[in-house]
Structures are given as C-alpha cells and as structure tokens.
Amino acid sequence: MAESALSETDVDAAGLAVRLRDATKVYDNGVSALGPLDLDVAKGEFVALLGPSGCGKSTALRLMAGLSAPSSGTVNVSHKGDGRHPIGFVFQEPTLMPWANVRENVRLPLKLSHVPAAETAARIDEALAQVGLAEFADAFPRELSGGMKMRVSLARALVTDPDILLMDEPFAALDEITRFRLNNDLLALWRDLDKTVVFVTHSVFESVYLSQRVIVMTARPGRISAEFRIETAEPRAEEFRTSAEYAGYCREVSKALAPSYSGPRSA
Amino acid sequence: MSFFRNVGRMLLPAAVLAVGLALWELVVRVNDIQPYVLPSPSAVFQTLVSDWPVLSESLGVTLLTTLQGFIAAAVGGIALALLFNQSKWLEYSLFPYAVILQVTPVIAIAPLLLIYLPQQTAVVVCAWIVGFFPVLSNTSLGLNSVDRNLAGLFQLYGASRLQTLRYLKLPAALPFILGGLRIAGGLSLIGAVVAEIAAGTAGAGSGLAFRIAESGYRLNIPRMFAALLLLSVAGIVIYGVLALVSHLVLRRWHESALGKEN
C-alpha cells in the first residue's frame, strides 16, 4: 500500500472505518479504472457505492480490502489491533469451496488465522444462526439454492466478527424475491451487529433501500458524481419499499446516475 | 425406462461378445483350423486353465512392475507439478524436457535403458516414463484452475503459501489429478509391456509380455492368446479400480461424479 499520511489508529480515532484520499487505480494495461477518489466512511455507517458496470466501484472495494494496492493516493482502514480480522468480504458469486461442507466453508477464515479449533465451533454455529442456516451446516454447496449459498458466504464473512463488511454486488445474481429477503436480513444484521457496511451495487432501488448514504459514481475512471443521504424512519421494512418517500429517493438517485450511463456511449 | 437402458447397456456388449466367440469357434471347427494357426476360444480357455501356474506368475510380475511404475509416476508427476507451481523458473527450465520425454516413443527408449540399467529397473522406468506426464500436466492444469475470488479470499485472510496449497490448490486440483492417474494406470501397464517386449527372451524377466514373445517363438499360439487376454483384463481392472476411487473421492461435490438429476 502507498505511504499513508494517516495511520490506521488515526483513522480509528477520527471515528472513521475507511478513508480514501486521492486514491487512483491504473491497471498494468494502462486502463485507468478509478479516481482520484476521496471517501470517508464513518464507523457503523451503511454506504452504497452505485454506478454503471465497469465504473471502478468494485476496484474501490478491492482497494479497501487490501486485495490490490492503489496506484497513487492512500487507503486507510481502521484497525483495532486486537487480533481480529478487520474486514469481511462478500463477493459477487458465493465463492464457496465446492469440496467442503457449509461448516468447513465458514470455518475457513478462522482456520487461516490459526484460531484454536476449540473456539471455532461456537463461532461457526453463531455465524450460521445469524444468517438462518443453522440446520444446513453439513450440506455441501451444490445442495443449496443460490440464496442459501450467498447466506453461507455472508456467514463466512461474519465469522471473524469483523468491524467492516465489504460487499461486491452480492445479490445481483439472485431472483427478486430472494434478493428482497436477503436485503431485509442484511439490514437486521447491520442493526444488531453494529458493523460498517460498504455495499457495491448497480441497482438504484437496492442502494436506496439499504443504505444511509448512496454514493453515485461516474463511468470509468470512477469518481464520485453525487451523494445522497437517505433519511427515513428506522428500522426500515417492506413498507419503506412501497412508500412515496422511497420512490422519491429512487427518482433523484436515478437522475444523478443518468449522465454516467450516457458517458461511455458518447465517448 | 432408465432401468431398461442400463440393462441394455450391459447386455448389448455381452451379446456381441457371445456372438463373436461363437462365430470364431464355428469357423475354427468347420474349417478344422490347427491351433498353431488360429486356436478356438475354447482352446484358449483350456490353455488359460492348464497353464495357469505359469501365466499367473507372469501376471504377478507384470502387475508388480506396473504398480511400481504407476506409483513412481503418481508421486513424481504430482511432486513435479507442485514444484513447478511454486517456482516459475523451475517450470520454464524443466518442462520442455518432460515434454521431450513424453513425445519420444517409449519403444525406442526401452532398448537404451536396458543397456544402462538392470532389467527390472529399466522396465519400471519405462512404465514410469509413459505414466508420469499425464499426471504432471493434469496436476499443473488443476493447480492453475483455482477460482480467482477464492484465491482473493485466501489473500484477504493472509493465508500462507502452505495454507493456500493445502486448503485451496490441492483440493481444487484433485479432480484433475484423479483424471491424470486414471490415464497413467493404463499407460503404466503399456510401458511395462513395451519394456518387457524390448527386453525380449534375452532377459531374465518372466512377465506376461515376455510369455507372449516366448510363446510366439515356440508357436504356442493358444498361450499367446491366453496371455493377451490376461493383459486386457488387467488393463480393464486397473482402469475400473482407478475410476471407482475417483468416483468415491469426488462423489459428494464434483460435477463429474454427480448424477444428471442434480
């Protein structure tokens, strides 16, 4: 990672979970994917990154996760330094190991961090209970539906009890009914577990429904083009999805998104 | 419906075999062909029974050679693939030679090996040479076929090289490795037979291929057929055993081992 003006503990002290400053990403083939991007995510906040395909929102998420380094600028993620892994990541696909059952898949992060076996069982059970899959611990991924696989993926991200959850279009491939249900479950988890969530999506409706703040990004190289605070009565539930207030937010956000969709075509 | 189809799939080849054997028997009897020209199936079967002490001993020798060659191929192929996977430089340096070893016909290498190595060793080396390349190339392919996101996940949690190998790359490569082993099993038998033939009657070996060569010189044609039959059966059994192992190992998760209904 590039040299950081702020240390991880400074970010933590400022009440931030993630801070990006002038972060850019240029790939080896010369394609400029992202930025420069300035972004602060407060602790406990639910932020959605919204933009057209290929706008670099997934790249931004990978920078936060440390899966790739910024070409310039800084990326800081708060780290309590108490030995817990600070980040949980949920990919677009469930990304499960097909040869391992649900329990072993969820155990993976603990195993990789050398958590003693005696401790793991209880934490795996807890994570599976959180996503409502307690009864499926011994099933193999192929025996599960798309929505259930995604729940396993979520349980795996939660099992290390991370402060920050990074989600890369996790529900994009699911049918609408399953997606709505997972949206509600995710909101409930977020309220109960006090996590910071950065949620990448290309769905206006999903971003408004889930997040406290919607960040609209431009087409490649991705930059922030607009920002909306979604202020409504919490906790949100299905009524919000059909409310006029929700429709209003969706209209505003869609309008802000429109220019980025015409971008690549006119270029 | 599927039940009848399954029964049909077993019965049809059996029926073809029965008809073929009956025709063969008939042609030999009607034309009164001598056994040193073409033995009837019943004569071959009689020889198989009467020569069983000699033939079974030879079968044992050939199977042992095959097994040794197969194990060497499996261990060598997988180990080399793992080394290649860890070090690109090693792969660049050595892989061309593995290919050369593979594309040079083993029948042409065998006489040379027999000059420089004790016969039993040379035969095992031949079995190894033909068997190890499919294991190497399949294992390499498997190790490089890891899901990119899963690899990212391992990176995210700071997995060590050894952890990545043990918990990600090896399990992901397992179906490929088993496929390679299935090919290597049959090839090891071929390698063993080729080397035995090359060693010929000059050698002290007593494997099945040696029996075939020896019986040829003595015009003991029924025994040639009997030995050939045993070789075929041995090859089928080796393939069957390896296919079964592969199925048992993969049946819980891999597409290749799942029924179509899933």
> Tens of pLDDT along B187-219?
999 998 988 888 875 555 688 988 888 888 888
At B143, the amino acid letter reads L
B41-50 helix and B2-30 helix, angle to the nearest 10 degrees: 90
Contact criterion met (CB below 8 Å) for A125 and A134:
yes
Contacts of A112 in chain B (CB under 8 A): 154, 157-159, 163, 167
Nearest to B156 among A65, A140, A141 (CB): A65
Nearest CA in chain A to B156: A67
State which residue of chain B sits closest to A65, comparing Cα positions. B156
Contact (CB<8Å) B253/A142:
yes
* Closest Cβ opposite residue B149 in set A93, A140, A160: A93
Distance between B219 CA and the closest CA of chain A, angstroms? 55
**B168 contact residues in A (CB cutoff 8 A):** 97
In a domain, A112, yes or no: no
Residues 167-186 of B with CB under 8 A from A: 167-168, 171-172, 174
Closest CA to A60 of B121, A115, A51: A51
Q: Are B196 and B234 in contact (CB under 8 A)?
A: no
- How far, in Å, CA of B142 to CA of B172, rounded? 7
Q: What is the pLDDT of residue A249?
A: 85
Provide φ and ψ at B79, rounded to 5°: -60, -45
Residue A191 lies in a domain: yes
What ipTM did this prediction achieve?
0.85
Is residue A172 domain-resident?
Answer: yes
Task: Identify the closest residue of chain B to A100 by CA–CA distance.
Answer: B253
Element (H, E) at A177: helix A176-193
Which residues from B are below 8 Å from A170, CB to CB?
none
HSE-CB of B207 using CA atoms within 13 angstroms: 28
Q: Which position has the token pair 């999506």?
A: A201
The answer to whether the CB atoms of B253 and A111 lie below 8 A apart is: no
Q: How many CB atoms lie within 10 A of CB A263?
A: 15
Q: Taking CB atoms and an 8 Å limit, are B152 and A91 in contact across chains?
A: yes
Q: Per the structure block, which two tokens stand in for A150?
A: 């995604």
In chain A, what residues touch B150 (CB-CB under 8 Å)?
95, 97
Which among B152, B163, B254 has the least Cβ separation from residue A67?
B152
Minimal Cβ distance to B159: which of A65, A97, A112: A112
Q: Which residues of chain A have pLDDT under 50?
A: 1-5, 263-267
- The CB density around residue A42, as the number of other CB atoms within 10 Å, is 14
**pLDDT > 70 fraction of chain B, expressed in percent and rounded:** 95
Residue B227 — very low, low, confident or very high, per pLDDT cuts 50/70/90? very high
Point out the residue among B152, B163, B171 whose CB comes nearest to the CB of A112.
B163
Q: How many CB atoms lie within 10 A of CB A239?
A: 9
Residues in chain B with CB shorter than 8 Å from the CB of A93 are: 149
How confident is the model over B62-121, as pLDDT tens digits?
999 999 999 999 999 999 999 999 888 998 998 898 888 888 888 888 888 888 988 888
A172 and chain B in contact, CB less than 8 A: no
Q: Cβ atoms within 10 A of the Cβ of B26, count?
A: 11
In-domain check, residue A130: no
Q: What range defines the domain where residue A40 resides?
A: 8-86+162-266
Best B251, B253, B256, B262 residue to mutate vs chain A (most A CBs within 10 Å): B253
* CATH number of residue A220's parent domain: 3.40.50.300
Using CB atoms, which residue from A62, A87, A98 is nearest to B253?
A98
Residue A67 with chain B: CB contacts under 8 Å:
152, 155-156
**Distant-in-sequence contacts of B251-255, Cβ < 8 A, 24+ apart:** B252/A99, B252/A140, B253/A98, B253/A99, B253/A140, B253/A141, B253/A142, B254/A98, B254/A99, B254/B174, B254/B175
Whether the predicted pLDDT of B4 surpasses 90: no
Give a yes or no: residue A154 inside a domain: no
* Domain annotation covers residue A150: no
What per-residue confidence (pLDDT) applies to A254? Answer: 87
- pTM value is 0.83
| A74 inside domain | yes
**Cβ(A152)–Cβ(A90) below 8 Å:** no
DSSP state at residue A236: P
Residue labelled with tokens 């860890």: B86
Of all residues in chain A, the one with the smallest CA distance to B174 is: A99
Cβ of B152 within 8 Å of Cβ of A140? The answer is no
Q: What is the pLDDT of residue B43?
A: 92
Whether A85 and chain B come into contact, CB under 8 Å, resolves to: yes
Q: How many domains, chain A?
A: 1
CA of B164 vs chain A CAs: smallest distance (Å):
9
DSSP notation for B220-253:
-HHHHHHHHHHHHHHHHHHHHHHHHHHHHHHTTT
Average pLDDT, chain B: 89
* Interchain contact A100–B (C-beta under 8 A): yes
Torsion angle of alpha carbons A6, A10, A12, A17, nearest 10°? -20
- Cα(B111)–Cα(B106) distance, integer angstroms: 9
A144 within domain boundaries = no
Q: What is the pLDDT of residues B52-73, one digit of tens each?
A: 999 999 999 999 999 999 999 9
Q: Do A95 and B155 make contact, defined as CB atoms within 8 angstroms?
A: no
Contact between chains at B157 and A112 (C-beta distance less than 8 A): yes
Identity of the residue in B150, B163, B258 whose CB atom sits nearest the CB atom of A97: B150
Helix (H, G, I), strand (E, B) or coil at B51: coil
Q: Looking at the complex, report in whole angstroms how far the Cα of residue A94 sits from the nearest Cα belonging to chain B.
A: 9
Mutation for B interface: A63, A95, A103, most B CBs within 10 A: A95
In degrees and rounded to multiples of 5, residue B5 shows phi and psi of: -65, -40
